[in-house]
Structure 1
Amino acid sequence: MNAPDTALRSRTAHTPAPTRTPDPTPAVRQADGMAVASFVLGLVGLLAMNLLLGPASIVLAALALRRGTTRPGRARLGLALGALDLVVLAWLVNADQTWSWSIG
């Protein structure tokens, strides 16, 4: 063995092996999907069909948080948007005295 070969071997011997993060389980991936869906439904619910999309957003957010999503911020935002959907609906019903509303 010559000296450069030993120096190379000693450098590579001390470098740690790259750690691989385990893939999330199917239940966690499903919970992540629920968190994203909750956010999207809550956001769309502000503009249309808030009577249906608001409660759906709330339920999906609660399920995602209960199942341990890796995106709890997005689930909480979906929960807040779902509640805001219902607040907007209540405000519009109070303003128009009807369950149906339209812009213009």
Structure 2
Amino acid sequence: MQLTAQATQQTGARDADGMAVASFILGLVGLLVLNVFLGPIAIVLAAVALWRGTARRGRAYLGLGLGVADLLVLVAFMQLDSTPSWSF
């Protein structure tokens, strides 16, 4: 039974590490395209990864910051363009 608990804990840690990396990548891509969708997803993935105790805390925090930056970029362009969306 201890072996099963250890395997589950390792799988959970790998999942959390993957979420941290995914939040970083989605936040980075979200600065350029689809920030209204990718920003919140990056924020949620980073928060879940941090809550699960990821070993890649730096990437999770970067993903969190980039997700927030995605939404700030969206709001800034909405204010400049006076529309609910923006394009290049």
1:54 paired residue among 5, 18, 39: 39
CA distance in 1, matches of 2:37, 2:48: 17
Q: Partner amino acid for 1:27? A: G
Give deviations 1:16-54, integer Å, cap 9, x for gaps. xxxxxx987000000000000000000000000000000
The answer on 1:71 being equivalent to 2:56 is: yes
Displacement, 1:99?
A: 1.6
Query: Which residues of structure 1 form unaligned runs of 5+?
Result: 1-21
Greater RCO, CA 8 A, separation 6+: 2
The answer on 1:96 being equivalent to 2:84 is: no
Q: Partner amino acid for 2:34? A: M
State the structure with more CA Rg. 1
Give deviations 1:44-95, integer Å, cap 9, x for gaps. 0000000000000000000000001010000000000000000000000000
Equivalent residues of 2:74, 2:85 under 8 A apart? no
* TM-score of the two chains, using structure 1 as the length reference: 0.75
Give the 4+ runs in structure 1 shifted more than 3 A: none
* TM-score of the two chains, using structure 2 as the length reference: 0.89
SS of the aligned residue for 1:100 comes to coil
Q: Considering only aligned residues, what root-mean-square deviation do their CA atoms show, in Å? A: 1.5
Sequence identity (%): 60
